[in-house]
């Protein structure tokens, strides 16, 4: 392979699953990595779920015992706030749990230290207004991620970046971003897997750029957002395969 890799960082949407659909071969590919003693981390920009909930979803897709291997953009956002900070959370259980773990207080009104936005399918005009007013009053603006879309079983759906863009437009402020391809989540991955790993994902604009940020090689799979017709892409992947199973065959050998 050219250099020794300390671990594999695996994206979820488009790599392990597409909505409720398991990407064929992904459970067996993960089992093969585990059997080979290769450290892995499931690295997701989705902030919807807690690590325990992500692990439960992984188990429903045939990948058990993964809670300790989960790294999420919500966890990275939790490292960006301080104990005792008052936080206006727009997002699901994952963001709320990360704020609690950081010792911050989630509040619905009054002055706040930061607005933290993660994907929230209940997001509406009222939530946009509350976020805008808090940021205009001086609160930090933190986004778990700015993915514009993500793949579901029945096609693409809007991602957190679409929600964040509305607040950025209303305030004229760009957010600080926790998730891929930015440094807060890169710190978590390096701490878990070391300094010389392989990032597997389906999006050059997040997973590929993240591989550069964290200092890893980039393995592009064509089972999610990126299709064969989209090639070539930037950054140029070190490895390209149809799916995770194909990637494991390519890198480890059949």
Question: What does the pLDDT look like over 154-198, one tens digit per residue?
Answer: 888 899 999 999 999 999 999 999 999 999 999 999 999 999 999
Q: Are 247 and 29 in contact (CB under 8 A)?
A: yes
Quote the number of domains for the chain.
Answer: 2
Distance of CA 13 to the CA centre of its chain: 9
**Mean pLDDT of all residues in the chain?**
95
Distance of CA 12 to the CA centre of its chain: 8
Q: How far apart are the first and last CA of the chain?
A: 14
**Of 127, 163, 172, 122, residue with least CA distance to 143:** 163
Q: Pick from 177, 203, 227: which residue ends a domain?
A: 177
Structural domain for 93, as ranges: 82-177
Inside any domain, residue 63: no
> How many angstroms separate the CA atoms of 108 and 186, rounded?
30
pLDDT score of 19 more than 90: no
Whole-model pTM: value is 0.92
Q: Pick from 153, 177, 201: which residue ends a domain?
A: 177
In which band, very low, low, confident or very high, does the pLDDT at 1 lie, cut at 50, 70 and 90? Answer: very low
Give the list of residues 6+ apart from residue 253 with CB closer than 8 angstroms, or none. none
- The domain that holds 94 is classified in CATH as 3.40.50.1000
> How many angstroms separate the CA atoms of 38 and 32, rounded?
9
In which band, very low, low, confident or very high, does the pLDDT at 4 lie, cut at 50, 70 and 90? Answer: low
- Same domain flag for 102 and 38: no
């Amino acid at each position: 392979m050219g250099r020794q890799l300390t671990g594999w960082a695996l994206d979820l949407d488009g790599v392990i699953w597409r909505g409720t659909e398991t990407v064929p071969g992904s459970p067996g590919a993960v089992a093969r990595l585990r059997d080979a003693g290769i450290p892995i981390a499931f690295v997701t920009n989705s902030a919807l779920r807690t690590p325990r909930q992500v692990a439960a979803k992984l188990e429903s897709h045939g990948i058990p015992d993964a809670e300790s291997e989960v790294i999420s953009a919500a966890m990275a956002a939790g490292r960006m706030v301080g104990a005792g900070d008052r936080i206006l959370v727009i997002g699901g259980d994952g963001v709320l749990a990360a704020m609690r773990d950081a010792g911050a207080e989630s509040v619905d009104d009054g002055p706040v230290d930061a607005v933290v936005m993660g994907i929230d399918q209940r997001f509406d005009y009222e939530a946009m207004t509350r976020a805008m007013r808090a940021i205009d009053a001086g609160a930090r603006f933190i986004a778990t991620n700015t993915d514009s879309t993500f793949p579901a079983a029945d096609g693409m759906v809007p991602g957190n970046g679409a929600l964040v863009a509305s607040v950025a437009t209303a305030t004229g402020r760009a957010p600080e971003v926790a998730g891929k391809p930015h440094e807060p989540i890169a710190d978590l991955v390096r701490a878990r897997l070391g300094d010389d790993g392989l990032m597997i994902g389906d999006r050059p604009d997040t997973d590929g750029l993240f591989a550069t940020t964290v200092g890893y090689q980039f393995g592009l799979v064509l089972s999610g957002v990126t299709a064969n017709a989209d090639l070539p892409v930037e950054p140029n992947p070190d490895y390209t395969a149809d799916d995770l199973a194909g990637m494991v065959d390519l890198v480890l050998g059949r």
